[in-house]
């Protein structure tokens, strides 16, 4: 009997010790599914876990294509992650489930140590709280092929700066015969089209989709109509079939020299290195051209991390992870998973040697600087006011900006008619 | 020694026990989701997990008054009728050819099934490239043959997109049905054909009076299967066009998906699924009844 009591007591003690010494586990969902990004995120988590024996961050890869369905289902079933990657509209979508935790303390703490690039932080502040910690941003620039410009007799160091110049360059490229189609423009009902159109809206001072009242749609206005009219002009210079183009087709057309220009994000730098044998110096970059009475700008959004658990131990572990990740050397390694694409969200990373040490960034410093400069003027649709409509996710998930574009390119409506229809669809989308 | 059939006849409980796993599987995978979808149709859930409020038949009345729903139904009808017609006629034609003796017949019989074996995603990518206006081989051939001046936008113009998607789906499914019809053709007694031949019956008379009546039950079944499968097809259309351009290929399943996962109208989508289910159930029952009645009369 004494033996049984002894063995039982020892077992209980061991179990208690094990429970006490077990690390706090944080399941982390991210949607950076390209293999080199998966690898880099895993590498960083492993390093963090090795340096912090009391915490174990477990990265799990998801896809953007499925996450809108998978995350709510998993959260409802009690099998959701402890924290996950988000963009602002996805955050509003998950927030409606009541699991997203305010992060005001953590943001205040980080603000004490780092200076945020404000546009990366703003979309995550609404309803009086910060709901996510931004980790990297992304925005649009005009990419152009210097080699093709030169062949067409254009100055490769003078990219178009205004809408009129852009149309002029398109015409010259076309008439020169160097390319049949000067620019690639996505036209599918897809996020790629949404983002290009919103960029044109931003530079034409039509960045607000909602009024001061988040339930009021002000999309139907002359400035938006102008942006769509300009989009149509560009679309006419794009290869046939662009009505179905998303991310990849413009990229292929650009890398193969079928087109000479494209407006897109910074992943074109690594894409160029990986997919062409041409020197990187042929890849030119410029800020998004603006109309004569426009403003500098682009779509800009930061990806953030949102916390989905109210467990105090996990909350503390999450804060530790974020503080560790925010160190410029560590953050730079995260951003280098696709050099030039992921932009810093703090001045400390921006001005660190670590960020600029990457060989590709070193070679394309000018392009990265343009992207970073542009991000200062960046906006995101639905997040340009202090208050956010909780159903804004339905506007982006429904790709209503792109749907409006197809009213012009496919149904043949005028820009004004199309924008009026788009506004109607937005009303329907945010209806309770 | 008693057979299993005898044992089951004596003890109905044993029979029930034996079918229980399958019954359980059907309940879990079919009945429960169906009941859940029916229940969801009476609430105003925007997306999974969001708070719900009972709203009675509002979703149903909204759907029935939604012109986009009816447009999607019409597109589904066009899509399904064209698919069924071309698949059944195409498979009959292919099977009749494959039933003849000619050189390379075995090879063709083996390889004809390839389109059906291809994963949908591979098929979609392949056809997207084949039909691409600038790089695609079809436009290249048409252009170099002087048949067209500017490339045809098969998957992005309103005029071409539905016929193109129907063609791709028919191309995919016809070989599968052709193999089934071929199997039926091989059950026709040789003596019967030889006797008709001796009596001087023409090819057409043999086809109308011997071949067609013999394989008619098989043709009826593949018509039903083709109808049910075609109307439910989501993946091929989604991967080729995502229901576009605009809504020109948005059939009912695509519309239901868009309402649920793009517009976040989960309850409306669930109610539409119920309507679609009831329609398909009604159609299948009516079709099978007619079939059995004709069979009994015949």
Query: Are residues A285 and A422 both part of a single domain?
Result: yes
Q: Output the CA torsion A304→A305→A310→A314 (10° steps).
A: -150
Cβ distance A393 to B264 less than 8 Å, yes or no, reads yes
For residue A210, the cross-strand partners are A217
Domain finish residue from A324, A351, A373: A373
Closest CA to B224 of B172, B168, B298, B290: B290
Distance CA B169, CA B107 (A): 23
Cα separation of the two ends of chain B: 40
- Is there a contact between B71 and B246 (Cβ–Cβ < 8 Å)? no
| Token code pair at residue B180 | 């089934």
Burial call B60-96: b when 16+ CB within 10 Å, e when fewer: beebeeeeebeebbebbeebbebbbebbbebbbebbb
**What was the pLDDT predicted at A18?**
54
pLDDT score at B180: 95
Comparing alpha-carbon positions, the chain B residue that sits nearest to A403 is B246
Q: pLDDT confidence of B298, banded at 50, 70, 90?
A: low
User: Are A179 and A275 part of one and the same domain?
Assistant: yes
In angstroms, the separation between the Cα of residue B140 and the nearest Cα of chain A is 13
Instruction: Spell out the domains of chain B, with CATH numbers in brackets.
Output: 60-297 (1.10.3720.10)
The distance of A400 to chain B (nearest Cα, Å) reads 10
Q: Give the residue-averaged pLDDT of B116-123.
A: 93
Pairing verdict, β A183-184 and A261-264: parallel
A4 inside domain: no
> Does residue A281 sit in the same domain as residue A314?
no
Based on the fold, state whether residues A229 and A194 are members of the same structural domain.
Answer: yes
Tell me, yes or no, whether A258 and A239 share the same domain.
Answer: yes
| pLDDT in the model for residue A20 | 56
- Both A187 and A263 in a single domain? yes
Summarised one tens digit per residue, pLDDT across range B212-238 is 999 999 999 999 999 999 999 999 999
Distance from CA of B198 to the nearest CA of A (A): 58
- Interface residues from chain B to A (CB-CB < 8 Å): 46-50, 128, 132-134, 150-151, 153, 155-158, 241-242, 244-246, 248, 258, 261-264
Contact B257/B234 with Cβ under 8 angstroms?
Answer: yes
What pLDDT does B274 receive?
A: 95
Q: Which of A397, A398, A406 sits opposite B245 (nearest CB)?
A: A406
Name which of A24-33, B46-55, B280-289 the model is least confident about.
Answer: B46-55
**Burial annotation A195-215 (CB, 10 A radius, 16+ → b, else e):** bbbbbbbbbbbbbbbbeeebe
A interface toward B at CB cutoff 8 Å?
68-69, 72-73, 75-76, 93, 96-97, 181, 187-190, 239-244, 258, 391, 393-394, 397-399, 403, 406-407, 409-411, 428-429
- Interface with chain B: mutation pick from A182, A243, A245, A430, highest number of B CBs within 10 Å: A243
3-class DSSP assignment, residue A161: coil
Which of the residues in chain A have pLDDT under 70? 1-7, 9-21, 432
State the smallest CA–CA distance between residue B176 and chain A in angstroms. 30
Residue A240 belongs to domain with CATH number: 3.40.190.10
Q: Look-up: residue for tokens 């969801």?
A: B40
- Min CA distance, B59 vs chain A (Å)? 13
In a domain, A14, yes or no: no
DSSP 8-state secondary structure symbol assigned to residue B211: I
Chain B, nearest residue to A95 by Cα: B50
Question: Final residue of a domain: which of A373, A396, A421?
Answer: A373
A78 domain-assigned: yes
Handedness of CA B270, B272, B277, B278 (dihedral sign): positive
Residue B27: what pLDDT?
A: 87
Residues 6+ apart with CB under 8 A from A290: A161, A162, A163, A203, A204, A296, A297
Q: Is B263 close to A394, i.e. CB distance below 8 A?
A: yes
Contacts of B128 in chain A (CB under 8 A): 244
Q: Which of A206, A360, A337 is nearest to A280 (CA)?
A: A360
Here the tokens at position A73 are 């289902």
Do A59 and A81 fall within a single domain? Answer: yes
Do residue A244 and residue B262 have CB atoms under 8 angstroms apart? no
**Per-chain mean pLDDT for chain B:** 91
For residue A190, which residues of chain B lie inside 8 Å, CB to CB? 242
Could you check whether the bond before residue A200 is cis, i.e. omega within 30 degrees of 0? no
Beta bridge partners of A133: A305
Number of Cβ within 10 Å of residue A160's Cβ equals: 18
Residue B197's Cα: distance from chain center in Å? Answer: 37
Give Cα separations from B120 to A373, A426, B239 (angstroms).
43, 33, 8
Q: Count Cβ neighbours within 10 Å for each residue of B149-162 and write b for 16 or more, e otherwise.
A: eebbbbbbbbebbb
Long-range contacts of A327-336 (CB under 8 A, 24+ apart): A328/A352, A328/A354, A328/A355, A329/A354, A330/A44, A330/A47, A331/A135, A331/A355, A332/A357, A332/A358, A333/A40, A333/A43, A333/A44, A334/A40, A334/A41, A334/A44, A334/A135, A334/A136, A335/A136, A336/A40, A336/A361
Alpha carbon of A51 to those of A14, A283, A315, A321, A324: distances in Å? Answer: 25, 40, 18, 11, 10
Chain A partners of B132 at a C-beta cutoff of 8 Å? 241
Q: How many CB pairs under 8 A join A and B?
A: 89
Count of domains in chain A? 2
B258 neighbourhood in chain A, CB within 8 Å: 398
Confidence of residue B251 (pLDDT cuts 50, 70, 90): very high
What residues of B are in contact with residue A76 (Cβ under 8 Å)? Answer: 48-49
Task: Let me know if residue A198 belongs to a domain.
Answer: yes
* Statement to judge: residues A241 and A387 lie in one domain: yes
Q: A302 exposed, middle or buried (CB, 10 Å; 0-12, 13-18, 19+)? A: buried
DSSP B43: B
Give every CB contact of residue B279 below 8 A, 6+ residues apart in sequence: none
Tell whether A204 and A306 lie within a shared domain.
Answer: no
Q: Which of A274, A229, A261 is closest to A140 using CA atoms?
A: A261
For testing contact with chain B, the best of A69, A76, A241, A258 (most B CBs within 10 A): A241
Interface test with A, best of B44, B47, B136 (most A CBs within 10 A): B47
Question: Which of B24-33, B88-97, B125-134, B175-184 comes out lowest in average pLDDT?
Answer: B24-33
Contact A188 B244 (CB under 8 A): yes
Angle at B261 (CA atoms; ends A221, A268), nearest 5 degrees: 70
pLDDT at residue A127 in the model? 85
Q: What pLDDT was estimated at residue B172?
A: 95
Domain co-membership, A134 together with A154: no
- For residue A358, being part of any structural domain is answered with yes
Based on the fold, state whether residues A223 and A250 are members of the same structural domain.
yes
pLDDT tens track for B130-189 = 999 988 999 999 999 999 998 999 999 999 999 999 999 999 999 999 999 999 999 999
pLDDT by residue (tens digit) across A308-348?
A: 999 999 999 999 999 999 999 999 999 999 998 999 999 99
**CB neighbours of B157 closer than 8 A, spacing ≥ 6?**
A243, A410, B245
ipTM over 0.90: no
Nearest by CB: A68 against B133, B244, B261: B261
- Which chain A residues have a beta carbon less than 8 Å from that of B127? none
Instruction: Check if the beta carbon of residue A110 is closer than 8 Å to that of residue A322.
Output: yes
Domain ranges, residue A241:
141-299+378-430
The pLDDT value recorded for residue A351 is 94
Q: In this predicted structure, what is the pLDDT of residue A46?
A: 98
- Asked if the structure places residue A11 within a domain, the reply is no
Q: Which residues of B touch A72 (CB under 8 A)?
A: 47-50
Residue A7 within a domain: no
Please say whether the beta carbons of B226 and B84 come within 8 A. yes
Query: Is residue A3 one of the residues assigned to a domain?
Result: no
Domain boundary among A373, A391, A415: A373
Tokens at A294, concatenated = 């426009």
Q: What is chain A's Cα-based Rg?
A: 24
DSSP category for residue B104 = T
Q: pLDDT confidence of B297, banded at 50, 70, 90?
A: low
CA B87 to chain centre: 9
Nearest by CB to B246, from A76, A397, A411: name it: A411
Q: Give the CA radius of gyration of chain B.
A: 24
CB-based contact B48 A69, cutoff 8 Å: yes
How many angstroms from the chain centroid is the CA of residue A413?
A: 30
Please tell me what DSSP assigns to residue B65: T
> What is the SS3 assignment for B263?
coil
Tell me if A397 and B264 make a contact (CB, 8 A cut-off): yes
If we measure between CA atoms, which residue out of A102, A139, A154 comes closest to residue A287?
A139
Q: What angle do CA B139, B140, B146 make, to 5 degrees?
A: 90
Quick one: A287 and A327 in the same domain? no
Q: CA dihedral defined by B234, B240, B243, B247, rounded to 10 degrees?
A: -150
Paired strand residues for A123: none
Would you call B153 and A429 a contact, using CB atoms and an 8 Å cutoff? no
Task: Please give the pLDDT value at position A395.
Answer: 86
For residue A97, the chain B residues in CB contact (below 8 A) are 49-50
- pLDDT score for A21: 62
Interface test with A, best of B161, B264, B267 (most A CBs within 10 A): B264
Distance CA A77, CA A410 (A): 42
Contact between A243 and B156 using a beta-carbon 8 Å cutoff? yes
Confidence of residue B290 (pLDDT cuts 50, 70, 90): confident
CA-nearest of A355, A398, A427 to A194 is A398
Q: Do A241 and B48 touch (CB under 8 A)?
A: no
């Amino acid at each position: 009997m004494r033996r049984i009591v002894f063995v039982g007591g020892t077992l209980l003690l061991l179990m208690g010790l094990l429970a006490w010494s077990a690390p706090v586990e944080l399941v982390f969902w991210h949607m950076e599914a390209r293999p080199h990004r998966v690898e880099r995120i895993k590498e960083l988590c492993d390093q963090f876990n090795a340096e912090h024996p009391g915490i174990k961050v477990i990265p799990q890869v998801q896809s953007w294509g499925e996450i809108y369905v998978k995350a709510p289902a998993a959260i409802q079933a009690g099998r959701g992650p402890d924290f996950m990657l988000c963009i602002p509209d996805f955050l509003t979508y998950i927030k409606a489930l009541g699991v997203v935790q305010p992060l005001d303390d953590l943001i205040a703490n980080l603000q004490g140590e780092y200076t945020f690039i404000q546009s990366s932080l703003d979309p995550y502040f609404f309803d009086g709280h910060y709901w996510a910690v931004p980790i990297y941003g992304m925005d649009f620039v005009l990419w152009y092929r210097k080699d093709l410009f030169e062949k067409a007799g254009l100055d490769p160091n003078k990219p178009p700066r205004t809408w009129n110049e852009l149309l002029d360059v398109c015409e010259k490229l076309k008439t020169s015969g160097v390319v049949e189609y000067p620019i690639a423009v996505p036209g599918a009902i897809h996020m790629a089209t949404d983002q290009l159109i919103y960029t044109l809206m931003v530079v034409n001072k039509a960045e607000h989709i909602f009024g001061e009242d988040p339930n009021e749609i002000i999309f139907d206005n002359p400035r938006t109509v102008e942006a769509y009219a300009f989009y149509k002009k560009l679309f006419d210079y794009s290869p046939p079939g662009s009505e179905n183009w998303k991310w990849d087709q413009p990229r292929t057309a650009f890398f193969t020299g079928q087109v000479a220009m494209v407006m897109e994000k910074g992943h074109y730098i690594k894409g160029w290195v990986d997919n062409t044998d041409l020197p990187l110096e042929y890849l030119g970059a410029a800020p998004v051209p603006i109309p004569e009475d426009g403003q500098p700008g682009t779509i800009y959004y930061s990806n953030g991390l949102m916390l989905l658990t109210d467990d105090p131990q996990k909350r503390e572990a999450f804060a530790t992870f974020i503080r560790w990740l925010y160190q410029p050397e560590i953050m730079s390694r995260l951003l280098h998973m696709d050099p030039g694409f992921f932009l810093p969200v703090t001045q400390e990373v921006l001005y660190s040697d670590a960020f600029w040490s990457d060989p590709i960034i070193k070679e394309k410093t000018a392009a990265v600087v343009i992207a970073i400069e542009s991000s200062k003027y960046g906006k995101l649709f639905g997040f340009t006011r202090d208050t956010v409509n909780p159903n804004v996710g339905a506007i982006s998930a429904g790709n209503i900006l792109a749907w409006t574009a197809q009213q012009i390119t496919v149904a043949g409506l005028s820009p004004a008619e199309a924008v009026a229809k788009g506004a109607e669809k937005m009303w329907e989308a945010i209806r309770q | 020694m008693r057979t299993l059939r005898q044992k089951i006849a004596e003890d109905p409980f044993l029979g029930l026990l034996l079918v229980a796993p399958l019954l359980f599987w059907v309940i879990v995978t079919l009945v429960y989701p169906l009941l859940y979808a029916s229940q969801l149709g009476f609430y105003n859930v925007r997306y999974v997990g969001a708070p719900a409020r009972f709203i009675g038949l509002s979703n149903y009345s909204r759907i029935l008054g939604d012109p986009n729903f009816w447009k999607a139904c019409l597109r589904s009808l066009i899509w399904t009728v064209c698919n069924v017609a071309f698949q059944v006629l195409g498979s009959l034609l292919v099977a009749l050819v494959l039933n003849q003796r000619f050189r390379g017949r075995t090879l063709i019989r083996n390889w004809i099934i390839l389109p059906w074996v291809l994963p949908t995603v591979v098929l979609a990518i392949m056809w997207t490239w084949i039909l691409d206006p600038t790089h695609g081989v079809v436009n290249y051939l048409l252009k170099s043959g002087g048949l067209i001046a500017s490339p045809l936008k098969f998957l992005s113009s309103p005029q071409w997109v539905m016929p193109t998607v129907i063609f791709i789906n028919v191309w995919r499914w016809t070989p599968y049905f052709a193999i089934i019809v071929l199997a039926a053709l091989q059950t026709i007694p040789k003596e019967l054909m030889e006797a008709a031949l001796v009596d001087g019956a023409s090819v057409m008379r043999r086809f109308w009076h011997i071949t067609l009546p013999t394989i008619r039950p098989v043709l009826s079944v593949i018509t039903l299967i083709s109808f049910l499968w075609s109307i439910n097809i989501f993946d091929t259309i989604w991967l080729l066009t995502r229901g576009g351009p605009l809504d020109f290929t948005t059939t009912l399943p695509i519309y239901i998906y868009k309402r649920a996962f793009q517009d976040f109208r989960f309850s409306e989508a669930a109610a539409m699924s119920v309507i679609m289910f009831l329609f398909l159930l009604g159609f299948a029952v009516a079709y099978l009844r007619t079939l059995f009645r004709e069979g009994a009369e015949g």
